[in-house]
Amino acid sequence: MAADAVRGGSRLRDRADFRWFWTAATISDFGTYVTGLAIQVLVVVTLHEGAAGVGVVNAARWLPYLALGLVVGVLVDRVRRRPLLVATDLARGALLIAVPVLAVTGGLTIAVLAGFLVVFGLLSVVNDAATQSLLPRLVPVRLLTRANARLDQSDAVAQSGGPALAGGVVALLTAPWAVLVDAVSYLLSGLLLLRVHVVEPPSARLSLRGVGREAREGLRWIYRHRTLRPYALGTHAWFLCFAVVNVVVPPFALRTLHLGAVGLGIALAAGGVGALLGALAAPGLGARWGAGRVVIAGHAGTAVAVALLALSWGPGAGWLVFGVGELALGLAMGSANANEMAYKQSITPDRLQGRSNAIMRSTNRAMIVVGAPLGGLLADAIGFRVVLWGTVAGFVLVAAGLATTPYRSARLADAA
């Protein structure tokens, strides 16, 4: 671990470099939630496309994760990570500025937008791998859970307030110009990251030589490790189930429960509140019970939360059950995420951080690509509730499976 990871105060709040890093992440989180809605409105309203158009731009956004994730992980491990974060944030900001300009001049089409999002996705996969890999260089092992929890808390607040902010910005500025909000957020994030000081090994010369060998080394590290292998396999299965939930819940809420767009927005905001509460509790839970047990309990909690969603019915109390389910879902995920990320970061050697992060993210995104359309087809064929109960069974199997492996005893102390 780099020397700078042990420099600074004994408390997270005393570490100025992490504060700049956290502030940059918080600003870009809010901008991302604005663009998430703005792009959807842009496709449907401005470009007059239907569901197929939305599917095209969504697929374009995730395609680089699937195609280049492993190679990107190898390259991230060869270079200094902070300059990579600065460059990719500034590049994403500049790229997004072009969207409203093209919309105003009549040059924006679905194909052009998809092309932009492929480039945006490539920059994002690099940024994501570098972000998770830089954190262990900023804080010592004992503070990793708290650091990840702080990042989760910011994301949870953005999740709660971001959609409402996005709706107002889109209504006020129209969708193309609302994308500028995210562009500015990335530019600000990149500039703030310039304030982060961290000692990093010098960059190696970028080359494709040895990429296959180093990629295999990263794969062996994850899938042959005593605790990381069951964690990785369980996480992939969890993402597959959760991708199905994400596809089924909106039409289930709108068509079966007749919740309405406003009601669904409130319920999703409750999920953000739950995520914030879970992230606040995550460090204490991990310190007392260990990361492995907290993650397993979080997966079991996900099963309970989705069961509440499946049990929801019409207006009144049924809507309340749905909202409580969303709250519980956020709580389960918020408490687990900081602990699982901190443990993986703490046990992985610095030279393998980029590869391990990129491998996990790329495979998890592949699960989304498979699970989302599969969930939609099944829901149309056999019903929303049946599919939701199927995912409940899946989450239970993931939690029970992990509980039988060495991962149940995983603690940050293992790597301290």
pLDDT digits (tens, 9 = 90+) for 350-370: 888 888 888 888 888 888 877
pLDDT at 51 over 60: no
410 contacts 292 by C-beta, under 8 angstroms: yes
Tokens standing for 390? 């199927």
How confident is the model at residue 95, as a pLDDT?
93
**pLDDT greater at residue 199 or residue 409:** 409
What the chain holds in terms of domains, given with CATH numbers, is 3-197 (1.20.1250.20), 221-414 (1.20.1250.20)
Q: What is the pLDDT of residues 14-30, one digit of tens each?
A: 889 999 999 999 998 88
pLDDT of 395 above 70: yes
pLDDT digits (tens, 9 = 90+) for 131-142: 888 988 898 888
- Paired tokens of 33: 């939630």
pLDDT in tens, 237-256: 999 999 888 878 888 887 88
- Residue with token string 């961290």: 198
Output the six-digit token pair for 223.
Answer: 């899938």
- C-alpha of 174 from chain center: 26
Q: What is the pLDDT of residue 4?
A: 41
Q: What is the pLDDT of residue 5?
A: 43
The 3-state secondary structure of the chain, one letter per residue: CCHHHHCCCCCHHHCHHHHHHHHHHHHHHHHHHHHHHHHHHHHHHHCCCCHHHHHHHHHHHHHHHHHHHHHHHHHHCCCCHHHHHHHHHHHHHHHHHHHHHHHHHCCCCHHHHHHHHHHHHHHHHHHHHHHHHHHHHHCCHHHHHHHHHHHHHHHHHHHHHHHHHHHHHHHHHCHHHHHHHHHHHHHHHHHHHCCCCCCCCCCCCCCCCCHHHHHHHHHHHHHCCCCHHHHHHHHHHHHHHHHHHHHHHHHHHHHHCCCHHHHHHHHHHHHHHHHHHHHHHHHHHHHHHCHHHHHHHHHHHHHHHHHHHHHCCCCCHHHHHHHHHHHHHHHHHHHHHHHHHHHHHHHCCHHHHHHHHHHHHHHHHHHHHHHHHHHHHHHHHHCHHHHHHHHHHHHHHHHHHHHCCHHHHCCHHHCC
pLDDT tens-place string over residues 161-217: 766 676 677 778 887 888 888 899 999 999 999 999 988 887 766 666 777 888 888
Share of the chain above pLDDT 90, in %: 37
State the chain's mean pLDDT as an integer: 85
